[in-house]
Structure 1
Amino acid sequence: MNSLIKLELMRALRNRRFLFFSVIYPSIIFLLVSNQNGTNGKVDGTGLTVAAYVMVSMASFGALTAVLMGNSERIVKEREGGWVRQLRLTTLPGRGYVLAKTASAAVVSLPSIVVVFLVAALVKDVRLDAWQWFALTGAIWAGSLVFAALGVAIGYLASGDAVRPITMIIYFGLSILGGLWFPSSSFPTWLQNIAKWLPTHAYAALGRSIEQSQAPHTQDIAILVAFFLIFAGGAAWLYRKDTLKA
């Protein structure tokens, strides 16, 4: 499994277009959104400046981009190219394949988080305590595992022609409804009630709790754990189901 993780990392790091959209693109969006809304203004109900609030949103969005977009389309290509069929001839179990894909994608998401933080600190003068920077990085990075598992599941659920539109719908749907692009407090009440149960909403809430020097809410952690188990279990099941078809 370790060899597969190394191989996946090498392939991802060689893909310049993927690196741009997962590492550089979120920082660009961060600068655009924070400039448009005024860097030093406060976001209602949070006590956070616009720059600090958007920083967590875009770091989460960047990690989501890296693990979800990269995994789903790459797996479909591997299935169609026969690579997955070759892996089945090895001793690698289904859960090992899912874990390898999830872990390698999560490692790639780390640069996207760090770059957003660097831009926020250097360009927008976002200031946090040292422990908050480390805690934010760890929380957002660990939370990306949820969406890495989702990417694996989509890769086995969708066909080659359908994987991109399906991934894009889920990608933007989770990002917007989860409050990564706009504060969920601006949504209608009925939509807020839906948003608070989405994994992206809980994901960003972890980071904002750390920025406010508060302990993460138990509900947010429980939601992320539950979705990870659902996505990872679904991915493993779909992998075994695809094996039976081969």
Structure 2
Amino acid sequence: MNANALPASRAWRAYALEARCELLRMLREPAFCIPVIVFPALFYVLFGVLLNRGNAGAAQYLLASYGVFGVIGAAMFGFGVSIATDRDRGYLRLRRALPTPPGALLLARMAMAALFALLISLLLAVLAAGLAGVRLAPGQWLGLLAVNVAGVLPFAAIGLWVGSTVSGNAAPVVLNVLYLPMAFLSGLWLPLSMLPDWLARLGPAWPAYHLAQLAQKVVGHDDGGPAWLHALVLAVVAGVFFVLARRRLAAAD
């Protein structure tokens, strides 16, 4: 049966099963899951708690920035490495012959990336409130959570494009070359005001900067730009890279 002709109830069940299989796959890869969730928390404890004890402003700033840092890593590496590996193994080509709904694999991996964003956000919130004494209104906690989960989309698109372009062996290297400089130059590790002026001016060129500004706006530490502009930039980045990745994957077939 053509997957496109599946009744709605069966199609939704297929999506749910795909997400369940993806979750099981992730649970069987602790070498990916544990660092993705734990590293942002460790960095926050070191820089937001131990090195800035008593500095509520720094703790709030780093709560927002390290949340974004963790979400970007989960989205880019979760998509980029797995898609590149699946291409190398011929798994994506095989899936085209299977009676699964279109886009089920990508939706399942998007759900996993959103789940990682949720876990990272909750862990950082617990550490911030319990160890750093951060006090935010309920709406601010929910706002940070919403920004982080929604922020998965553009960086999953970037990861998907990288995974559609390079091999499985090259994907981690390429992603790190993008991820680490982008995090530094977007103000995720320290405020851009602490960088040389010529470096700070490069911040708005990175999509991570715009996601970080949305998160910082929630806690009151943003640069003052309009939220709609940051959201628009992220939406454009998501759309462009998804289109580019789709073309690459289609050409590979």
TM category, shorter = 0.7 to 0.9
The alpha carbon displacement at 1:139 in A equals 1.1
Partner of 2:247: 237
- Quick check: which has more Rg, 1 or 2? 2
User: For residues 92-146 of structure 1, what are the alpha-carbon distances to aligned partners after superposition, in whole Å with 9 as ceiling and x for unaligned?
Assistant: 5775554443343223322112111111111111110111101110111101211
Aligned match of 1:38 in 52, 58, 64?
A: 52
Measured in 1, the distance between the counterparts of 2:152 and 2:190 equals: 20
TM-score, normalization by structure 2: 0.85
Query: Matched residues in 1 for 2:132 and 2:217: separation?
Result: 20
2 CA distance for matches of 1:146 and 1:125?
32
The CA deviation at 1:205 is: 0.8
2:61 matched residue in structure 1: 53
Cα–Cα, structure 1 residues 196 and 77, in superposed 2: closer, same or farther, change >3 Å?
same
Query: What fraction of aligned residue pairs are identical, expressed as a percent?
Result: 27
Task: Between 8-17 and 195-204, report the one with greater CA deviation.
Answer: 8-17
The aligned counterpart of 2:152 is 144
Aligned Cα root-mean-square deviation (Å): 2.2
Matched, 1:226 2:252: no
2: distance between equivalents of 1:237 and 1:39?
Answer: 49
Give the 3-state SS of the residue equivalent to 2:151 in structure 1.
helix
Q: Structure 2: which 5+ residue stretches go unaligned?
A: 1-13
CA distance in 2, matches of 1:140, 1:181: 16
Dislocated runs of 4+, deviation >6 Å: none
Q: Under a length normalisation based on structure 1, what TM-score does the superposition of the two structures give? A: 0.87
- Which one-letter code corresponds to 1:198 in the other structure? W
Give 2:195's aligned residue: 187
Correspondence 1:176-215 to 2 at 5 A = 176-212=184-220
| Counterpart residue identity of residue 234, structure 2 | L
Checking the alignment, whether the CA contact within 8 Å between 1:76 and 1:155 is kept in structure 2 is: yes
Q: Paired residue for 1:128? A: 136
How far did 1:79 drift?
1.7
Distance 2:105 2:30 in 1: 24
Q: Deviations over 1:137-169 (max 9, x none)?
A: 011110121111111111111113321210111
The answer (yes or no) to whether the contact 1:98–1:236 under 8 Å persists in 2 is no
Shift of 1:187: 2.2
In structure 2, the CA distance between the partners of 1:222 and 1:161, relative to structure 1 (3 Å rule), is: same
